[in-house]
Chains A and B, each alone.
Chain A
Amino acid sequence: MSDDKTLVAPEKGDWEQAASSSGYEPGAQSVAERRFWAVRRVPAALVAGGGVLMAGVFLYDIVKVRAEQPGMAWRHRLADELAARPLDDVWVLLGGAAVLLLGAWLLHLACSPGLRGVLPMRRPGDDVRAGIDRATAAVVLRDRAMQISGVQAVRVAVGRRRVLARADAHFRDLDDVRADLDAVLGEGINELGLARRPALSVHVRRPAAKG
């Protein structure tokens, strides 16, 4: 792998290796693909449940009072507090802030795609949309990295824009191992078939000597 970092690495010694930016170009074959949008079942269920609960309790109590039975104590308390506390009271302001934050959170949930753990894949045809979990992509890449000789252990983290691989190499020259990792992981990322090709960065080091 013709990598300019290779020239730098020996000066730093074998114990800490510079990262490589690998020989493959991220984004080279990227295609525009929409993200997966979550159905938002849980927030919807919570909003529905909360709304039903509040409306139901009020309904029950209002009907009860209309039927000339005593209302629940908390409604008197609530009415008294709303009528007694001025708007610049700490509790009113805190309540207003809490309601504002909750509303902003719900708006965010309504407008953002969610499913950050799913990476959209390239479509083999119009009739198929596919996505792969980031954790799954990491396992696939890890399996490939483990096949390189010299790699004793490797941790692969797949982010939404970047794949980060940290490997411990217990034999072979670290630059050779890193070159192999660059090639294998680059090919591995190709075979993930992601719509947007993430950047790849590879770190290789000697494992700490055993006690």
Chain B
Amino acid sequence: MLRVINRVVVGLAGAALVALGLGVLLAGLGLPGFLPVDGPDDVLISDADRERVSSYGWWWPTVIAVLSVVVLLGLWWLAAQLRQRRLGEVVIDTGEPESGTGPRALLRGRALEDVLAAEATGIDGVERASVSLLGRRTAPRAHVGLVLGPRASPAATVVALRSRMLREACESTGLPALPTEVRLRAVKHRPERVT
């Protein structure tokens, strides 16, 4: 979600800057452009332009309102970059699947993360694992970071992660699935020889 918002807003900002820069360049080089100016000898914003817009009663209140909205949305957007929205708790439905509204239990997100990380660390060749749960509490997703030790087999590690950690997670929480994104990294170590 944040990825989509970021890319759309960054793209819009980029498009606006491209349009402005292109407009100034075209007008300045005397080419047919789209800025409302009279040829390369004109200026970007003349004193007359400024005085004209300032004379409208709505001008400054509108500018202030727009700038306020930009500042508020910008701060919210900035804050969204700085925090990672992790899942606080996961809903475990213990009821009958047919009735739908059985007794429900809440599992702390951090507890499940720790269990999953411990499970992942148990896989052969995995030195460290970090798990964070994202998404909604009835349909969580997992981000897993694995740090591989020497002589690990990445493909086998991912298969083992799926068959052990994910199956465990689904069995213990009753979730139908836990969509997972895995990133593999390695500890930096010097070249060594077994023999």
Q: Which residues of A contact B (CB under 8 A)?
A: 37-45, 47-49, 51-52, 55-56, 58-59, 62-63, 66, 79, 82-89, 92-93, 95-111, 118, 121-122, 124-125, 127-133, 135-137, 139-140, 142-143, 146-147, 149, 153-154, 190-193
Contact status B24-A87, CB under 8 Å = yes
15 of the cross-chain contacts (CB-CB < 8 Å) are A40-B7, A59-B64, A88-B29, A92-B24, A92-B28, A95-B24, A96-B25, A100-B18, A103-B20, A132-B183, A136-B154, A136-B184, A136-B185, A137-B154, A191-B154
Q: Which residues 43-65 of B sit at the A interface, judged by CB distance below 8 A?
A: 43-47, 50, 60, 63-64
Chain B residues bordering chain A, tally (CB within 8 A): 80
Contact status B18-A83, CB under 8 Å = no
Identify which of B9, B41, B188 gathers the most chain A CB atoms within 10 Å of its CB: B9
The answer, yes or no, to whether B77 is at the interface (CB within 8 Å) is yes
Secondary structure call for the B interface: helix
CA distance A103 to B50 in the complex (A): 26
- A127-B166, A143-B150 known, 8 other contacts, Cβ within 8 Å: A55-B67, A59-B64, A79-B45, A87-B41, A110-B14, A147-B193, A154-B191, A193-B154
Contact status A84-B43, CB under 8 Å = yes
Among B86-94, B97-105, B115-123, B156-164, the stretch in contact with A: B156-164
Q: Which of B25, B81, B156 contacts A191 (CB 8 A)?
A: B156
Residue of A nearest to B188 (CB): A139
Which residues does chain A contribute within 8 Å of B130, judged by CB atoms?
none
Contact status B41-A88, CB under 8 Å = yes
Which residues does chain A contribute within 8 Å of B154, judged by CB atoms?
121, 132, 136-137, 140, 191-193
Which residues does chain B contribute within 8 Å of A192, judged by CB atoms?
154-155
Q: Per-position contact with A for B33-45: 1 when CB-CB < 8 Å, else 0?
A: 0000101111111
Contact status A103-B77, CB under 8 Å = no
| Contacts A105-B14, A133-B186, A143-B150; A97 near B9 (Cβ below 8 A) | no
- Nearest 9 CB-CB pairings of A with B: A193-B155, A103-B17, A100-B21, A106-B14, A96-B24, A110-B11, A99-B21, A103-B18, A107-B14
Contact status A143-B151, CB under 8 Å = yes
| Contacts A41-B6, A109-B10, A140-B148; A82 near B45 (Cβ below 8 A) | yes
Contact status A48-B81, CB under 8 Å = yes
Residue of B nearest to A96 (CB): B24
Which residues does chain B contribute within 8 Å of A191, judged by CB atoms?
153-156
Contact status B43-A82, CB under 8 Å = yes
Contact status A146-B193, CB under 8 Å = yes
Which residues does chain A contribute within 8 Å of B179, judged by CB atoms?
127-129
Contact status B183-A133, CB under 8 Å = yes
CA distance A153 to B23 in the complex (A): 57
Which residues does chain A contribute within 8 Å of B107, judged by CB atoms?
none
Q: Which residues 106-155 of B sit at the A interface, judged by CB distance below 8 A?
A: 148, 150-155
CA distance A87 to B154 in the complex (A): 59
Q: How far is the CB of A35 from chain B (nearest CB, A)?
A: 13
| Contacts A128-B182, A130-B183; A99 near B20 (Cβ below 8 A) | yes
Residue of A nearest to B10 (CB): A110
Which residues does chain A contribute within 8 Å of B195, judged by CB atoms?
147, 149
Contact status A124-B20, CB under 8 Å = no
| Contacts A48-B81, A51-B13; A93 near B158 (Cβ below 8 A) | no
